[in-house]
Amino acid sequence: MKIEKTFIKDLLIIIPNVFTDDRGYFSESYNKRNLENLVNDEFVQDNESLSHKGVLRGLHFQAPPFAQSKLVRVITGSVLDVVVDLRKGSQTYGQHFKQVLSSKNKTQLYVPKGFAHGFSVLEDNTIFSYKCSDYYNKASEKAILWNDSTLNIDWQIKMPIISEKDKIAENFANFVSPF
């Protein structure tokens, strides 16, 4: 397993070892021991979504005390995964990071607490999986507007399919970080 640091502190790219032969492949998608020096989270819930090309989900997070760290990956298809640093004292507050995650590259992203997270779907029938460090809590669920001009994120899709909830999310300029 290869672990790469990003320009945003604590945000990690994880590239698992993949062993292939005539039968297919084998890959260890999670191993707590490999991450324990960098990640202090215990994952308690796994989520999975199926989306079609052109869908955009995000930018979502849960506010404290129910904030979640996530370990995200794609099982089938591909996404452009995007995170925004919402940590008040961070040198990269308000900056975003993008990474293509796909079933081909098997790349994962560790997203610590204090980040908004979203993704745009680049292929039909994409299955997205994420491990969470806390349980879903509807009352603490929040969102930042996906196309906020302050954030200036290129989602690499035109005319995305978006939920009603994501259409009315909060502008970053009006956002007061709980982190």
- Decide: residue 6, CB within 10 A, 0-12 exposed, 13-18 middle, 19+ buried: middle
- Decide: residue 100, CB within 10 A, 0-12 exposed, 13-18 middle, 19+ buried: middle
Active-site residue among 25, 60, 96, 135?
60
Active-site residue among 52, 96, 130, 136?
130
Known catalytic membership, residue 130 = yes
- ∠ CA(72), CA(46), CA(176), 5° rounding? 65
- Other residues' Cβ atoms within 10 Å of the Cβ of residue 66: 16
DSSP state, 51? E
Residues assigned a catalytic role: 60, 130
